[in-house]
Structure 1
Amino acid sequence: MSEVGADFYVSNLHKWFFCPPSAAFLYCKKSTSSSDVHHPVVSHEYGNGLPIESSWIGTRDYGSQLVIPAVLEFINRFEGGIDGIVKRNHDEVVKMGKMLAESWGTNLGTPPEMSAAMIMVGLPSRLCHNSEEDAVTLRSHLRDRYEVEIPIFHQVSKEGEEGVRDNEGFITGYVRISHQVYNTLKDYEKLRNAINQLVEDGKTCKMFYIE
């Protein structure tokens, strides 16, 4: 935190750090005014510093916090620890994104250098993805028929911008893929094959409304 000069920094730990929901951390830079920062739930530890004030805030399940030392031990089993995981996730999600874009004849919606462990990939224009409702319907169809769960977004060009095209038309739908240590090539191949099958069968998003 000292490198970025942050006064405060907050993040959850339940997703990329493998912790249960409700596990998070708050960083506060030491300063003469830090003693004025208090936990919103006050108790008999009030005035003993934010870490002590935050350690016990009433009757609740502290299990998500108690597992953090075990999570740290788990992360350090991987080569390079958390830094190694971050690098491999980035490298793999870019690799998988390029594989999907090549198979579908589309594009990456975000530059690799601006992607961490997630990246956007254009959907084939032949799916006729024309609205947010189409995104929801296509996502449900992939879940119900192919057992694929993937966020889908509708994206149109702003006024004055030239849209992105594939060989059939403008690309207006994007999937957002991610990568974590438990993902395998088969996960992305399943998504790739599902979209290719829909295109091969001549399916469009509007058809899924009546299925």
Structure 2
Amino acid sequence: MQIEQYGLKECEKIRGGAVVVDVIRAFTTAAYAFAAGAEKIVLAATVEEVLEIQRSLPGSLAMGEVGGMPVEGFALWNSPVQLQHMDLSGKTLVQRTSAGTQGAVRTRNATHMAVGSFVVAAATVRLVQSWGVDSLGFVITGSEANSGGYEDAAFADYAQALLEGQTPDAQTYLQRGLRWRESYAHLQDEWTERMLADLALCLEADRFDFAMPVQRENGLLVVRRTPPGW
């Protein structure tokens, strides 16, 4: 399998399988949402699109951020800490973030797609293997966000090692994500503390044994978790 990494500007070039990566925090948050019982997550590019989709899906909840900050009118922030003790059983979420969901929306030519992060790493690798594709692109969404994409590239390198049959030490790759701290040194203490709490949940390998494949459903970009025991 040919494996390459792409940024947000190049991800349209992917024609085979794609894993859109946002470790901190979109697709760690998504994994926590599924662990809390969410049925599906619809991905959107803009706040306006989220609100439009939400109106068309009664009972759905808006989730995400703009510039890393909560959005007025959204029920949920882009925070795994916020979700870890919630009950979202059967809920549909509509997610917009500044990096992760942008990558998914732009990766429009892939034959197969999943979103991924460290908390679902091994399951994501199993999903990719089940596709039987000849080429795979990892979309490093953080490359144009504040983090510089360090943790997303680390995830891609870790997943590639697993795909190649190696037995890599996850901690070596997780440590690369700690560079994220430097990007938020300018924030107010309250937000810095909340984001650092999220960081602890984001930099954990294989907390959940499910993957997050993406499909087009009625014109919407929909993420669902793989079923138990898949």
Same fold (TM over 0.5): no
- Between structure 1 and structure 2, the one with the greater Rg is 1
Report the TM-score, using the length of structure 1 for normalisation.
0.19
Which structure carries more relative contact order (alpha carbon 8 Å, separation 6+)? 2
Greater strand fraction, Structure 1 or Structure 2:
2
